[in-house]
Amino acid sequence: MHFDEDFVKSLPDDWPHTTLLISDKLNFIREHDPDALHAAVEEAWALLSVLSPKWDEQFTVPEIYGDRDSDIAVMLEFFTEINEEAERVIKEQAREAKLSHYQNVYEISLGNVFHFEFSEGDLERIQQLTNELRDLISKSEEFEEKHKQRLLRKLEKFQSELHKKVSDLDRAWGFLLEASIYIGQMGGNVKPMVDRIRELVSIIGPTSTRAYDLPSNLPIKLLGQSENDKSEDGKS
């Protein structure tokens, strides 16, 4: 199969990026193995027909009627149209995100909204740690591919939204929590990843507590975790 299990599990959650990845693979097959294109188009159609219901009918996968040549023509036209629409949606989302970011920056600068503020040194160290963590996750053979791609996407979003002043740290804590849970259950040599996650928490934690006018040295402890809870072998 052209769209194997690893490819399917690595697909993002949103339809625009998913359809673009599928279209990119079809274009690659068209250029390098044109004899396999029709079979690949049928696989791509079957994959999207299974995935599309979870996107609340953002688009409709065309019906097929049994004549292969006609069906392939319909499918190819569909992928051309959905690819164009996906690119339009992604550009619009990027534009909206940029405008929202500008508004947020000015709101923070004017002191109109609650925000968290990093020192320049902390910000540089966070960027260094996230780059190292990305490299470790990418090269690790301990991860299932679907979990690796999910963590890398979360890490990328966390890093892309990291600035000296930010209105929330949701992306940061979301990534750190998920990475801690998953990496903590893995075997193998995960200590380098654990060490970097712990250092990120040691930087982001005090920044969070200061914003709430709490002591910056306040220990970061999850609700329900006792004072005696201690990590063992990288597990929390």
Whether residue 169 has pLDDT greater than 50: yes
Is the predicted pLDDT of residue 232 greater than 50, yes or no? no
Per-residue model confidence as pLDDT tens digits over 52-103: 888 876 788 888 888 888 999 999 999 999 999 999 999 998 888 788 767 7
Counting residues of the chain whose pLDDT is more than 90, the rounded percentage is 30
Say if residue 231's pLDDT is above 50: no
- β-bridge pairing 116-117 and 165-166: antiparallel
Whole-number pLDDT of residue 109:
66
Question: Does the structure show a pLDDT above 60 at 114?
Answer: no
Confidence (pTM): 0.51
Compute the average pLDDT of residues 130-150: 86
- Residue with the bigger pLDDT between 131 and 111: it is 131
Pick the closest to residue 52 from 14, 92, 6, 10 (CA basis): 14
Handedness of CA 217, 222, 224, 226 (dihedral sign): negative
Report domain extents, the chain: 5-93, 115-236
Residues 6+ apart with CB under 8 A from 38: 68, 72
Phi-psi bin for 50: left (phi > 0), alpha (psi -120 to 50), beta?
Answer: alpha
**Which pLDDT band, with edges at 50, 70 and 90, does 207 fall under?**
confident
Enter the tokens of residue 22: 């599928």
- Residue 213, pLDDT above cutoff 70: no
> How much is the mean pLDDT over the chain?
82
Distance CA 214, CA 39 (A): 61
Q: Is the pLDDT of residue 219 over 70?
A: no
Rg (CA), the chain: 22
CB burial of 179-196 (b: ≥16 within 10 Å; e: otherwise) equals bbebbbebeeebeebbeb
Q: How confident is the model at residue 26 (pLDDT cuts 50, 70, 90)?
A: very high
In this model, does residue 234 exceed pLDDT 50?
no
